[in-house]
């Protein structure tokens, strides 16, 4: 058995644990899971008869083990699919499958297809032959799309294990009329053609890559549900609205912007909402920056370049005074030595950071005149 190609180890070489890509935890497969109930003794008669099967690109479906086959996570099996059969690998079995079905809202009824048998050597050889056809088919189809001037991007091709159907995954910004394309592909490759449109996030998940954090993309390793990400998420976290920094490889806002959003929203409950500048006898102070977790707001007067740190409690107090038409002397309050020491330490830290990243002036050196030979 060759190495796993769905996670990038491919090229018929086994990587990692050297167990032919079939470890009990799912091996080096994409979107693998850990069966934390595998060591618990369960009565054989009460074992859940539905298993989770993984296909290319991390796609997973549920199939019924109707014949009670002795299956192990990582085994290659032949499963029933519409108009034929396909080869997949067992990714999960037991009671965790029942929980996954409840999570995915899949009903345990007659619509769940069954597993035919374990894949033999001939099935694996035929499956590898179909996989070798995918890259040439992908390149040839892209040329055909370019010749037909279709506004679509073909990202992947997946052949069915019985070599009777090929699924073409594409992305497009507008509706595409590919009826003529299907006729050309069917006559070119002598196979049934299915065109499936996927989103840009799903495309990035199928192709994979390395994110700005230095790790593999979340959508290609463990993330299955794509929640909407808006620019308001970046505003809550005081991030600059720079599209080049906030966008992922798919061209959309990064999914990781949602990971810490709840923490920021909890911390923002103690930060007062300002409808305008704070009024003091020294002048009107406008908000310049908010340190959410330290609960410190930085204000600056109009004719000054320096910023003044104010605690959230003091800011609430000034807002309450301004609402009663009372103007305090300054932004600072009598917070004692501890408050002054805290703000002094913050100012020293900011000065240290400014000095660290301050651009050094380059000293221009006079060029020596060349000597004439």
Burial class (CB in 10 A: 0-12, 13-18, 19+), 349: exposed
Give the full edge-to-edge strand order of the sheet including 153-159. Answer: 153-159, 165-171, 192-197
pLDDT at 59: 85
Nearest C-alpha neighbor of 97 from the set 44, 53, 141, 139 = 53
pTM summary value: 0.69
How many CB atoms lie under 10 A from the CB of residue 22?
Answer: 20
CA atoms within 13 A on the CB side of 234: 14
For residue 132, what are its two tokens?
């070798």
Identify the residue whose tokens are 């000034």: 318
User: Cα separation of 56 and 134, whole Å?
Assistant: 12
Contact 101, 62 (CB under 8 A): yes
Q: Do the bridges between strand 165-171 and strand 192-197 make them parallel or antiparallel, or are there none, so unpaired?
A: parallel
What pLDDT is stored for residue 192 in this prediction?
A: 93
Separation of alpha carbons 146 and 128, rounded Å: 28
Q: What is the pLDDT, as a whole number, of residue 264?
A: 93
The four Cα atoms 314, 319, 320, 323 give a dihedral, to 10 degrees, of 160
- The CB density around residue 106, as the number of other CB atoms within 10 Å, is 15
pLDDT along the chain (373 residues), means of 10: 44 47 46 66 70 88 90 91 91 88 89 93 93 94 94 93 92 90 93 92 88 89 85 90 89 92 92 90 89 90 85 91 90 61 62 65 59 64
Nearest to 225 by CA among 2, 31, 68, 92: 31
pLDDT at residue 357, as a whole number: 65
Kindly provide the b/e burial profile for residues 244-262, where b requires at least 16 CB atoms within 10 angstroms of the residue's own CB: eebebbbebbbbebeeeee
3-class secondary structure per residue, the chain? CCCCCCCCCCCCCCCCCCCCCCCCCCCCCCCCCCCCCCCCCCCHHHCCCEEEEECHHHCEEEEECCCCCCCCCCCEEEEEECCEEEEEEEEECCHHHHHHHHHHCCCCCCCCCEEEEECCHHHHHHHHHHHHCHHHHHHHHHHHHHHCCCCCEEEEEEECCCCCEEEEEEECCCCCCCHHHHHHHHHHHCCEEEEEECCHHHHHHHHCCECCCCCECHHHHCCCCCCCCCHHHHHHCCCCCCHHHHECCCCCECHHHHCCHHHHHHHHHHCCCCCCCEEECCEEEEEEEEECCCCEEEEEECCCCCCEEEEHHHHHHHHHHHHCCCCCCCCCCCCHHHHHHHHHHHHHHHHHHHHHHCCCCCCCCCCCCCCCC
pLDDT for position 11: 46
CB of 12 closer than 8 Å to CB of 3:
yes
- Which pLDDT score is estimated for 170? 94
Q: What is the set of domains in the chain, with CATH numbers?
A: 1-124 (no CATH), 133-201 (3.30.300), 271-356 (no CATH)
User: Which residues are CB-neighbours of 251 under 8 A, at least 6 positions away?
Assistant: 200
Distance from CA of residue 313 to its chain's centroid?
38
């Amino acid at each position: 058995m060759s190495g796993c190609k769905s996670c990038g180890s491919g090229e018929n070489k086994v990587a990692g644990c050297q167990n032919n890509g079939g470890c009990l935890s799912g091996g080096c497969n994409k979107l693998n899971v850990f069966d934390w109930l595998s060591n618990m003794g369960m009565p054989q008669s009460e074992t859940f008869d539905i298993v989770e099967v993984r296909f290319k690109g991390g796609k997973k479906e549920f199939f019924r083990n109707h014949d009670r086959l002795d299956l192990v996570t990582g085994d290659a099996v032949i499963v029933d699919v519409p108009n034929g059969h396909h080869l997949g690998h067992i990714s999960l079995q037991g009671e965790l499958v029942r929980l996954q079905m409840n999570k995915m809202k899949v009903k345990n009824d007659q619509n769940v297809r069954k597993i035919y048998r374990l894949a033999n050597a001939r099935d694996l050889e035929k499956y590898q032959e179909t996989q070798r056809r995918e890259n040439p088919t992908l390149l040839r189809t892209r040329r055909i799309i370019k010749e037909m001037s279709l506004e679509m991007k073909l990202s992947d091709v997946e052949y069915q294990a019985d070599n009777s159907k090929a699924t073409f995954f594409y992305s497009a910004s507008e509706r595409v009329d590919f009826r003529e394309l299907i006729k050309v592909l069917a006559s070119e490759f002598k196979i049934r053609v299915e065109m499936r449109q996927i989103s840009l996030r799903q495309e990035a998940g199928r192709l994979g890559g390395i994110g700005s954090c230095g790790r593999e993309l979340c959508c290609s390793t463990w993330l299955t549900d794509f929640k909407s990400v808006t620019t308001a998420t970046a505003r809550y976290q005081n991030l600059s609205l720079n599209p080049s920094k906030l966008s992922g490889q798919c061209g959309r806002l990064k999914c990781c912007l949602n990971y810490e959003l709840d923490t920021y929203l909890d911390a923002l409950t103690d930060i007062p909402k300002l409808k305008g500048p704070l009024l003091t006898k020294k002048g009107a102070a406008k908000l310049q920056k908010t340190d959410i977790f330290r609960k410190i707001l930085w204000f600056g007067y109009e004719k000054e370049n320096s910023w003044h740190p104010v605690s959230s409690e003091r800011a609430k107090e000034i807002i309450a005074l301004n609402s009663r038409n009372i103007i305090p002397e300054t932004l600072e309050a009598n917070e004692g030595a501890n408050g002054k020491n805290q703000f002094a330490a913050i100012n020293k830290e900011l000065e240290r950071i400014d000095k660290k990243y301050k651009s050094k002036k380059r000293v221009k050196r006079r060029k020596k005149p060349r000597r004439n030979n």
